[in-house]
Amino acid sequence: PKLAEWQQEMLKDLEQATDRLSTLTEDLLDVSRLQAGQLVLQHTSTNLVSLVQRLIERFQKTTARHQLAFHPEQPILEAMIDPQRMEQVLSNLLTNAIKYSPQGGSIVVTVRKDSANHAAEIRVQDDGIGIPLHQQVRIFGRFTRADNAQAAGISGTGLGLYLCRALIEQHTGRLWFESEEGKGTTFFLHLPLVAPDSAT
Ligand code: ATP
Ligand code: MG
């Protein structure tokens, strides 16, 4: 028999609760792995453009209030990365962009090659609540959350960015942001591309 609307709602809630629980468990395990020096990357040549494209499509399905726009400057940008870990990083950045823009709005993701630095650059930009200036220096710390996010009643553990930065540093990349409270936030991710003459 077809499920009633309230039953479908309930199933959706259950599914979301299970997802949250499994993400939390995975995050806590990753923190322990990092501390034990046991978080090992599985590098493989990966097209960053299609990886980001897939994630954008997946996350667009989770929200009707936000418009996710993707602007790759080229169709293919290969990097030697751990694709699952990169997905984990971008998933947190996209989840953050969505949940810290409770009014909705546009989220713009860019992928480009920074030829001067032989790096790939990914940006995730939102028009959300922003991060208060006085808390910006500490925001990558474990269990760190900004006051305005908590005041707005948006839930979170404060582990996502800590793990993102650790994972990107393990890729010998960089992760940073620019943010203005009440205006929005842009995260920048730089990943080194293998120099053509050093490829084996
Ligand atoms: P989780 O561990 O589930 O990711 P979280 O989202 O609270 O929880 P982080 O992703 O580490 O944790 O982010 C830390 C804090 O940084 C957030 O709680 C929020 O205060 C702030 N923050 C992160 N991204 C944004 C953003 N795009 N806009 C505004 N604030 C943000
Ligand atoms: Mg987060």
| Chain segment 79-119, per-residue pLDDT in tens | 999 999 999 999 999 999 999 999 999 999 999 999 888 99
Pick from 31, 139, 155 the residue to mutate for probing ligand 1's pocket: most ligand atoms within 8 Å of its CB.
139
Q: What pLDDT shows up at residue 71?
A: 87
Q: What pLDDT shows up at residue 199?
A: 47
Kindly identify the ligand whose nearest atom is closest to the C-alpha of 154: 1
Q: Using the structure block, give the residue that is written with the tokens 């590098």.
A: 43
Please tell me if the CB atom of residue 175 comes closer than 6 angstroms to any atom of ligand 1.
no
Mean pLDDT, rounded, of the chain: 95
Q: Using the structure block, give the residue that is written with the tokens 């960053």.
A: 48
Q: How close is the Cα of 163 to the center of ligand 2, in Å?
A: 10
Please tell me if the CB atom of residue 161 comes closer than 6 angstroms to any atom of ligand 1.
yes
As given in the structure block, the two tokens for residue 149 are 């996010």
Please tell me if the CB atom of residue 185 comes closer than 6 angstroms to any atom of ligand 1.
yes
Q: What pLDDT shows up at residue 200?
A: 46
Q: What pLDDT shows up at residue 1?
A: 85
188-197 per-position pLDDT tens digit: 999 999 755 5
Q: How close is the Cα of 79 to the center of ligand 2, in Å?
A: 25
129-159 per-position pLDDT tens digit: 999 999 999 999 999 999 999 999 999 999 9
Q: How close is the Cα of 71 to the center of ligand 2, in Å?
A: 23
- CB-based burial of residue 187 (10 Å sphere; 0-12 exposed, 13-18 middle, 19+ buried)? buried
How would you classify the pairing of strands 105-114 and 66-72?
parallel
Q: Using the structure block, give the residue that is written with the tokens 């990753």.
A: 30
> What number does the ligand 1 atom closest to the CA of 159 have?
2
